Structures are given as structure tokens and as C-alpha cells.
Amino acid sequence: MATETKSCLRELEVEIPVEVVERETERVTKQLARVAQLPGFRPGKVPPQIVRRRFWDDIRGEVLHKLVPGALESAVRENNFTVVGEPEIRDLEFEPEKPLRFRASFEVLPEFELKDYKGLEVEPAHIELTDDDLEHELEALREQSATYEPVEGRAAEDADTVMAKLTGVVTDAKEERQPIVLEQATINIGEENTLPAFSDGVRGATVGDERHFSVAYPADYREASLAGRTVAFTAEIKKISRKKLPELNDEFAKQAGEFASLDELRAKLRERLEAAREAREKELTRQRLLEALATLHDFPVPEALIERHLDNRLERRVRGLMAQGLDPRRMDVDWQRLRESGRDAAAQEARLYLLLDRIAAAENIAATDEELAAEIGRMAVGSRQTPEALRARLTKEGRLDSLRGAIRSEKVVDFLLSHARLTAPGRG
């Protein structure tokens, strides 16, 4: 008998007939009797009733291992459930010469009706490219070519760069933490990206000074292990320097990329910005489309599927760090907190996964072998591997099917966009 408890959770009461239980119990008992050794009996000659009594726990475990999964699978199939995650078995009743009974709780894929996904109303994203954007890129290039001149005869002030050894202790953590030690920390005094407490802590210092100050990190700080924490720092001032930017002229353009002139550099930067703008507009428009699709459908999402997407998000984060040459195991990060911080996004991803999967089935959309090979080739270029080596690695890691699914999802989004009603700005 099946029972719906809440959302995607289902419960089954399963009973295995006594004759089936006894038949399996007898088979396991005979099998064990052939190898059982008890004092007073020759090997293989121990009576079955004695074997059952002396080795009941072993027999019971083997019978359960054999019968329960099959019985549950049959019950799930009879009820047309698609199980997500591992079922929980409880209230198991198993006594000699009686039916075997148990309850199984599990999550299932939700049943939902696809709304009119053709004709979704979406306002295309529009990003305006301004002269300020171009100047910002030029300034970024100047920053990359900046030189630093030592400061002598005065204390550190705004716009100076201070090199210091930082030792920090988290003062409001319940558990004991290892001190934070940065041998060569760079503090750009007064800059927008520098927390004010750091600037205030070293402003007015000279080389050789030791400064003590506390930093209260904001709750949304990018480093999850420090977000919302207060850290007491000791700074040993090693060096103070002043940044010097190159002049913005034709000579700078030649050094920046062998451009003939500053005008040519500006033109190339504008091309890059235009390409980036178009890509970002496309990405934002697709996000709006998916938001419209999700808003149109209200159905529960299995917790097991959300957990799977949380794992995938964290795995992508770890792979990104490793690609930068960082060892996640050596980082002072509360990984569980970081993982849970993405729960709402993971739930949305899971909902969209189910929707795109259903639409793909309804529209007969699939990723072809040629498309899969092309994507592997593109990824191989970025990872500096041969396509063959990358395919082998993806296969070994069990990620090839996921990649094929991602390609199919992108094709579904393209399909939805081709049927969407694109509105003018201001129409909703």
C-alpha cells in the first residue's frame, strides 16, 4: 500500500508472503549447513534446525538482503514511482513462519503538467556600452603595467601600497581556529576594494612598525570562512611603496600589445567590449527566459535532487580553485556553510532540470554524438588536453552523461528562445 506523506515523499507498506520467506530461509539454511562446523557433527552433516537456531542472525541477514530489495522494486514498479535517492527501510518485522513486513520511505520525481512553454514573454537584456567602459579597460591595462617606487622619509598615506606580514586570530569563533598567517600581504591604502579597517590599521605606519587592529568582516564577504567574523590582526610593516602608472600614449599602446597607436588599441578594446557585451546580453536573456519558465510551474522538488545539485555546485567551486593552482584542503573555508549557502540556487537549478528534461522529451530534443564530440573538443582546447584524453577522463569520472545532458538542456533553451515572445523594454 502506498501513502503520500508530503511533497515528493512517498511511503510504501510491503509484505512478502510467508511461503516466499520460508522458501528463501530454507535455501539459505541449506547453503549454510553445507559449510557449518559444530562440535559433535561432521562437516556438512549439521541438521538444518540446529543450523537455523545457531546461525539465525546470519540467516536472517542474508534473507533480508535477498528479499527486501526485490520486493521494494516490485512495489515501486506497481505504483509507477520514479524513485530519487536511497529509500529508507524501517518497521521491519521478520519472524519465523510469518510474512516479512516493512515500510519504505523515499522521494519520487514530481508529477506536474507542462504549461504553455512556447511563447514565453521575455524582455531581451540590453547593456549599454559607454566611453567610461572603454576608459575603465584602459585604466586596467595601465594598472597591469604599473611600477612601484619605494617610499622614503615619510609615513604611509592614502594611495600607498604597504607590504606586511599579517597574523590574525578570529576572536568570535566558538571553536578554536588556527591563526591566519600571511607572510606577504598587500594593503592598498584607501582603495575601494580595501576594507577600511585595513587602511586605518596601517595608515601612518613606517617600515619596521608593528600595528594592531581588528577587522569586522561583512556578512556577505566573499571568503565564506571570514564572513561575519571579527579578526584581530598584527601587522609587521615590511615595505611601503607608491604606484606609478605609465603615460597613456602611443608608446604605451605598443608595449600593451604591439599596437601601432593608442587609437588602434582603443579600437581593439572596443571590439572586445562589444563581444563581451553581446555574450553577457545573451546570458542574461537566457536567465530571464528560465526564470519565466520556472515561475510558470509550481511543483515540489525532491530534497535528494537538491542535495545532488548542491554537491555539483560545490564540486564546480573546488575544481575552479584547483584550476587556479589552489589546494582546497589547505584553505580555511567552512565548506559545509559554503555548500548550504547555495541551497536556494540549487533548488532552482533542480526545478529547471526537471522542466527542461520534460520539454526535451516532449519535443524529442537530444544531444547528438557530433555535438558531444564538438563540445569535448572545445573543452579540450581550454584544458590543454587531447579530445581523446578528455573523453576518457570524463568517462572514468562518470561525467560524460552529465555533459550530454547539459548540451541537451542548452538546445532546449535555444528552442524556447526561438518560440519566445521578445518584448520591448518597459513592457514587462
Q: Mean pLDDT throughout 132-157?
A: 92
- Distance in angstroms (rounded) separating the CA atoms of residues 187 and 160: 8
Q: Among candidates 353, 290, 5, 346, which has minimal Cα distance to 120?
A: 290
Are the beta carbons of 243 and 146 closer than 8 angstroms? yes
CA distance 51 to 48: 5
For 146-162, the pLDDT digits (tens) are 899 999 889 999 999 99
Q: State yes or no: pLDDT of 428 exceeds 60.
A: no
Is the pLDDT at 331 greater than 80, yes or no?
A: no
Confidence at residue 336, expressed as pLDDT on a 0 to 100 scale: 84
pLDDT tens, position by position, 80-119: 999 998 999 999 998 888 899 999 999 999 989 999 999 9
Strands 121-122 and 421-422: parallel
H helix intervals, 36-172: 48-54, 56-78, 131-144
Average pLDDT over residues 169-198: 87
pTM: 0.70
- State percent of the chain over pLDDT 90: 63
pLDDT digits (tens, 9 = 90+) for 39-77: 777 677 777 778 788 888 888 899 999 999 999 999 999
Span 209-223, mean pLDDT?
A: 90
Distance CA 189, CA 151 (A): 14
Report how far Cα 350 is from the mean position of its chain's Cα atoms: 12
pLDDT at 339 over 80: yes
CA gap 98, 21 in Å, rounded: 8
Alpha-carbon distance of 364 to 380, in angstroms, equals 29
* Cβ–Cβ < 8 Å for 238, 164: yes
The predicted model gives 226-235 an average pLDDT of 90
Task: Specify the pLDDT at position 427.
Answer: 41
Say if CB 100 and CB 94 are below 8 A apart. Answer: yes
Query: From residue 104, how far is each of 10, 55, 87, 149, 187 by CA, in Å?
Result: 8, 27, 6, 71, 58
Is residue 3 predicted with pLDDT exceeding 70? no
Arithmetic mean of pLDDT, 189-196: 92
Query: Is 227 within 8 Å of 221 (Cβ atoms)?
Result: yes
The larger pLDDT score, comparing residue 195 to residue 426, is at 195
Radius of gyration (C-alpha) of the chain in whole angstroms: 32
Higher pLDDT: 426 or 254? It is 254
Model confidence band, residue 219 (pLDDT cutoffs 50, 70, 90): confident
User: For the chain, which domains are there?
Assistant: 2-108 (3.30.70.1050), 147-244 (3.10.50.40), 261-422 (1.10.3120.10)
DSSP string, 301-355: --HHHHHHHHHHHHHHHHHHHHHTT--GGGS---HHHHHHTTHHHHHHHHHHHHH
131-144 vs 262-296: helix crossing angle, rounded to 10:
110
Mean pLDDT over each residue of the chain, to the nearest integer: 89
Q: How many residues appear in the chain?
A: 428
pLDDT digit string (tens) for 284-327? 999 999 999 999 998 999 999 999 999 988 888 888 777 777 77
Here the contacts of 263-272 (C-beta below 8 Å, separation 24 or greater) are 265/138, 266/134, 266/138, 269/134, 269/137, 269/138, 270/129, 270/134, 272/137
d(CA 283, CA 351): 19
